[in-house]
Amino acid sequence: MEDMDQARRRMVEDQLRGRDIDDERVLRAMGTVPREKFVPREYRGKAYSDSAMAIGQGQTISQPYMVALMTQELHLEPEDRVLEVGTGSGYQAAVLAELVSHVYTVEQIAELSDHARELLVDELGYTNISFRVGDGTLGWAEEAPFDKIIVTAGAPETPSSLLDQLGYDGEMVIPVGTRRSQMLTHYHRERTGNIKSTNLGSCVFVRLTGEEGW
């Protein structure tokens, strides 16, 4: 089995830098977080393959490239407060926590949230992540507004609650489309309050379920 540190470096150079990921802070974060800890034990030998993997409960951990792309498209700043919808394995939250002041992550499935908290806080020692079990389509109103929002599941349309919780000059990345395929969509709330959207390309995510999802 290839050494995990070596595999991680190769992932950064070949899968990320070798494509269109050029934000050095994002590349450093992806090269720091041990993805092998976030995948089921039986898949750890393939932790750095360029593919999504099942993590149980009908959920997946996204391919490294997609994690890096979504992170890069948020244009994160060190002082940012970020809302993540869909904690899942906790891998995306870890990458975000390497880059910003605080991450607020919401997950509907309590078992996944609890496991992610144990890994991120108890094992890896992150102190800038807050967890909530609940309907992520409704966001986390008590902590809004957020500088950035990332949604790691596909929605039939963009939840209005999330747009409402996006601060001025804030950015959000979310997959929007059908149950089988989505368009990765970037939103920017300008300082005037106007919201502009840009399509970043096609993608496939698990469904975003909830009051404003599927």
DSSP-assigned letter for residue 207 = B
Distance CA 58, CA 37 (A): 19
DSSP-assigned letter for residue 176 = E
DSSP-assigned letter for residue 33 = S
Residue at 196: amino acid letter: K
Distance CA 130, CA 102 (A): 8
Q: What is the 3-state secondary structure (H, E, C) of 120-169?
A: HHHHCCCCCEEEEECCHHHCCHHHCCEEEEEECCEECCCCHHHHHCEEEE
161 a catalytic residue: no
| Burial degree of 36 (CB within 10 A; 0-12, 13-18, 19+) | middle
| Burial degree of 20 (CB within 10 A; 0-12, 13-18, 19+) | exposed
**51, 62, 89, 130: the active-site residue:** 62
Question: Which residue numbers are catalytic?
Answer: 62
